[in-house]
Amino acid sequence: MTRPRYFQITYGFNKTRHIFVQPDSHMTEADAWYYACLHSGIGLSYGDNHDQQNFDAVRSHAQEHGLIQVNWEELP
The angle subtended at Cα 72 by Cα 71 and Cα 76, nearest 5°, is 155
Q: Given pLDDT bands bounded at 50, 70 and 90, which one contains residue 1?
A: low
Q: What is the spatial distance between Cα 36 and Cα 62, in angstroms, rounded to a whole number?
A: 8
Residues 76/29/39/72 CA torsion (nearest 10 deg): 30
Q: What is the pLDDT of residue 48?
A: 57
User: Which tens digits make up the pLDDT trace of 20-75?
Assistant: 999 999 999 989 999 999 999 998 765 555 555 678 888 998 999 999 999 999 99
Q: What is the pLDDT of residue 57?
A: 84
Q: What is the pLDDT of residue 46?
A: 55
- Given a contact cutoff of 8 angstroms between Cβ atoms, the answer to whether 5 and 23 are in contact is yes
Q: Is the pLDDT of residue 76 over 70?
A: yes
What's the sign of the alpha-carbon dihedral 55, 69, 33, 13?
A: negative
Q: Given phi > 0 = left and psi -120 to 50 = alpha, else beta, which region is 46?
A: beta
